[in-house]
């Protein structure tokens, strides 16, 4: 079997604070073939915006996941920020 190289990425996701938004992100992430190594979600009650930091790994390019998360209706933005890895 050929060895698989997993690349690690850190995503910062800004989302509307909806109960279901975390579930949507988790579902898309798993379905698109990314492993979640860690996740942190916080809500700013002032502007009802949630910030989700997620580190993931996959053999697939991260743009695949970024594009799919971006398509979720409640998502305001996604950034790849590997500086804190």
Partner 1 sequence: MTESKTLTGGALLFEVLEEHGVKHVFGYPGGAIMPIYDALYDSNVKHFLCRHEQGAAFSAVGYARAAGTVGVCLATSGPGATNLITGLADALADSIPVVAITGQVPTAAMGSDAFQEIDIFGLSLACTKHSFQVTDIDDLERVLYQAFEIALEGRQGPVLVDIPKDIQLAEVTERFDKLSHLQNKVQLPLADINQALELLNKAKQPILYVGGGVGMANAVEEVRDFAEKTGMPSVSTLKGLGSINPDNENYLGMLGMHGTKTANIAVQESDLLVVVGARFDDRVTGKLDEFAPNAKVIHFDIDTAEINKRRAADVAILGDLKANLPSLVTDLNIAAWQQKLQQMSRDFAWRYDHPGENIFAPAVLKTISDLMPSNTCVTTDVGQHQMWAAQHMSFDDPSNFLTSAGMGTMGFGLPAAIGAQISRPHDTVIAVSGDGSVMMNVQELATIKRYQVPVKVVLIDNAKLGMVRQWQDLFFDGRLSQTDLSDNPDFVMLATAFDIKARMITKKSEVNAAVEEMLDHDGPYFLQVKIDAAENVWPLVPPNTANDQMMEGV
**Interface residues with partner 1 (CB under 8 A)?**
20, 23-24, 27, 31, 63-64, 67-68, 70-73, 76
The least CB distance from residue 63 to partner 1, in Å, is 7
Cβ proximity to partner 1, 37 vs 68, nearer residue: 68
The least CB distance from residue 75 to partner 1, in Å, is 8
Cβ proximity to partner 1, 57 vs 60, nearer residue: 60
Cβ proximity to partner 1, 23 vs 42, nearer residue: 23
* Helices (runs of H) and strands (runs of E) counted in the chain: 2, 4
Cα gap 72→15, rounded to integer Å: 9
Cα gap 60→68, rounded to integer Å: 13
CA neighbours within 13 Å on the CB side: how many for 56?
Answer: 28
The least CB distance from residue 53 to partner 1, in Å, is 21
């Amino acid at each position: 079997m050929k060895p698989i190289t997993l690349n690690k990425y850190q995503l910062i996701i800004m989302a509307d604070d909806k109960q279901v938004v975390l579930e949507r992100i988790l579902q898309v992430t798993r379905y698109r073939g990314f492993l979640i190594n860690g996740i942190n979600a916080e809500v700013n009650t002032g502007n009802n915006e949630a910030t989700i930091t997620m580190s993931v790994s996959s053999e697939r390019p991260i743009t695949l996941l970024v594009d799919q998360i971006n398509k979720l209706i409640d998502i305001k933005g996604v950034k790849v920020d590997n500086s804190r890895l």
